[in-house]
Amino acid sequence: MCQLKQFLKKLADRAVWLLCPNRCPYCDKLIGYHDTECEGCAGELFKGPYIRELSDGGVCMASFEYKNEVRQAVLRFKFGSDTGAAGSLAKGAAMAAQSAAPVIDAVTNVPLSAVSLKKRGYDQSELLARKTAEILQKPYCVTLRKIKQKRVQHSLNLNERRENVKDCYAAADEESIRGKNLLLIDDICTSGSTMAECRRVLLEAGAANVYCVSAAIAQLNLNP
């Protein structure tokens, strides 16, 4: 991009910010042009790494616990077309990645099905993964496709969740997977069944390592 174009883009971004200033996604306070959350929430909420053990012996890490203000921000991000929290959640994911992943070749995500993507208009985990990749200065790549849509996970117990995600994902591009150290991103980790299934598919497709990070980890109150 030439310098004039860059200058005009910055000017346009500033004008948008003046008309519609950034707000903290957790408490709605006005925040600066480059800020992703207010100082108070940053100090209060970035408490991780929270760790969820996966059924295959791996772990998923996150900087946020899925409750209160974080839960509301994630829900608005996931279901309310409000992507205002994406920057802050990606910052948290990048921080968790520093603990979770000793080496990263590329960042990828747990994908939505084509039907859910059409309904929602955007894939929140992809957006999160792209922003995390930007912060970590690593390439983003699509590695998985959701090939089956079964029941929604949140109404199921632990065993049903594991069974429900089986064979729902397939490798999308083996070239991007083979021999790679991948950082796999999702929005919320509850039982970790989805992460574990995606990790299994990627490892079977030849990934060297798959490190799992979610924006937030939910407390596990599921019947086995």
- Pick the closer one to Zn ion by CB: 195 or 216: 216
CA 45/CA 109 separation, integer angstroms: 23
- Pick the closer one to Zn ion by CB: 38 or 95: 38
- Residues 6 or more apart whose CB falls under 8 angstroms from that of 1 comprise 9
User: Among residues 24, 54, 73, 168, which is the contact residue for Zn ion, using CB under 5 A?
Assistant: 24
Judged by CB under 5 A, does residue 60 bind Zn ion? Answer: no
Judged by CB under 5 A, does residue 45 bind Zn ion? Answer: no
How far is residue 145 CA from its own chain's centroid?
Answer: 16
In angstroms, the Cα distances linking 102 to 4, 183, 211 are 40, 10, 9
The length of the chain, given as a count of residues = 224
Judged by CB under 5 A, does residue 27 bind Zn ion? Answer: yes
Nearest-approach distance from CB 45 to Zn ion, in angstroms:
8
At CA 94, angle to CA 73 and CA 56, rounded to 5?
90
Q: Which stretch binds Zn ion (CB under 5 A): 20-28, 93-101, 135-143, 166-174?
A: 20-28
- Pick the closer one to Zn ion by CB: 29 or 150: 29
Judged by CB under 5 A, does residue 38 bind Zn ion? Answer: yes
Contact predicate 87/131, CB 8 Å: yes
Judged by CB under 5 A, does residue 41 bind Zn ion? Answer: yes
CA 38/CA 22 separation, integer angstroms: 10
Judged by CB under 5 A, does residue 64 bind Zn ion? Answer: no
Nearest-approach distance from CB 44 to Zn ion, in angstroms:
8
Judged by CB under 5 A, does residue 158 bind Zn ion? Answer: no
Instruction: Of 8, 7, 38, 11, give the one whose Cα is nearest residue 22.
Output: 38
Residues 93-132 touching Zn ion, rule: CB under 5 A, are: none
Judged by CB under 5 A, does residue 26 bind Zn ion? Answer: yes
Query: What residue ranges bind Zn ion (CB under 5 A)?
Result: 24, 26-27, 29, 38, 41
